[in-house]
Amino acid sequence: MTPELFQRGFIEKLPENLVVCSLSLDSERDDLYLTRMTKDSNPVMVKLPLGRYGNRESAEEGFEYGSRNIFCTFSDLMARSKASIKKAGSCSTKQDKMRWWEERATLDKQLETLLFQIESTGLGGFKCLLLPSSPKSETEISEFRKSLGSALYRATSPKSSNISSMEINRELCVALMELGSNPSDSDVEDIMFYFLDSLHYGGNPIDYGEIDADMLSAEIHLAFEKIHSPPPPIDASTVLLIDKQLQQLPWESLPVLRGRPVTRLPTLSFLRDRLELAPSWRENQSRMGVYTVNQTRISYVLNPDGDLVGTERNFRDLLSCQSNWQGLVGERPTESDMKDFLCNKDVFIYFGHNGGEQYIRGQKVRRLERSAVALLMGCSSGYLQDGGEFDPTGTALNFLMAGSPALVANLWDVTDKDIDRFSVNLLQEWGLLRSSSDLSGAECQESKSLAQCVTSSREKCTFKFLNGAAPVVYGVPWVFVR
């Protein structure tokens, strides 16, 4: 595909309030490739060596930088979390329970720390590429671009006589401006060395020892200080296209994205299909990429194996009192039941183990002509099994291939009380569960998207990372209830 065809076939079809970011890992060189795509702009790609901070004076002594440390630490956290969940039932004494809670709190804090390290040393000053664009004037963009280029030119021109000017990519400048007027020293340093390295390895050798790094850093800071544009709109969304080596990580809970509507998909083709199919998914839909679900067309399966007593107690009355909903409580669905729930309803809610794959085979799901929006609240319902050289497999992908606009699923095992709190808030805030007072004022309330509600519901968990970071949205951000 030529760049022109790619621009027409993908980029020009993106909605205005969306940024699409591709994350890919070159495991041999330990380089992260981050590509940012927005409507009516050329894609911008940066290569970020994951070990680059280890070569700088600010490097933390004894800390191992790079993807190996990230993956090993994350795998260890997940193994310890799973082990603690298994032994929860054997905590009989008060001391045992206290130790269990302390262990969970420690794991929660360690996961939060890991996500901070991924952002600060992996993405560094380029974390802002994940953010949607805020409104900016062309004058402000030009001034920032000129200030940044001038600072780099003055710092490098004495030793690089073949450089007549420093032309900075416009789209990259627009993205960097999302850092705001007060970026951290570490982020400015990362941006500075990125441009210096780009010059050096682009055929313009630089004597780094002759660069006045403090002066250059101060000038870059000054360029950022002149930015006065507002933050991105709260309803502007990010879609992450995450490659198979990175998909197990909860990118949505990085500090820069925490609190923002974010979804994920395997490839750009999955996104394009959902944007184009939105008008035909239900009657009376016309906006590209925006899906609405009918609050009366809901199906559910609650505690099908009969062993999630607490979850059934929390949700039985909430679900059964919805007169137009169809579902099963304490009863295993047949494959025919699952097909009916997925094909003939707008939303399918599942409170059971895993993602319900034990009741309908994956190949059957993939062959469905249509699939409802799915809320799969079981443990590891969104986990994708590593396929080595091949693409990963999992329940979430089966639903996407069946045409589901979006689904909520957990990347790893979670505890039931926290995920129940998350689920109650999600159902209420999204508008599926409404009290009489909600119904009387429904017309006055501003509808929130599924992605927005998932983001805010994470904060209802006691362990906001160990459990709250597990639920993610696969699909498009704009799924609303009417």
> Is the separation of the CB atoms in 315 and 429 below 8 Å?
no
Closest CA to 166 of 214, 129, 204: 204
Torsional sign, CA 445, 234, 226, 183: positive
Tokens at residue 480, please?
């609303």
Question: Distance of CA 36 to CAs 54, 126, 264, 268, 429, Å?
Answer: 26, 11, 14, 12, 30
* SS3 label, residue 250: coil
Per the document, the length of the chain is 482
Question: Quick check: is 379 catalytic?
Answer: yes
Tokens at residue 88, please?
């929860």
Using alpha carbons only, give the angle 307, 250, 467 rounded to the nearest 5 degrees: 35
Question: Distance of CA 108 to CAs 38, 222, 259, Å?
Answer: 34, 37, 18
Closest CA to 115 of 104, 105, 127: 127
Which of 21, 379, 453, 461 does the annotation list as catalytic? 379
Catalogue the active-site residues: 379
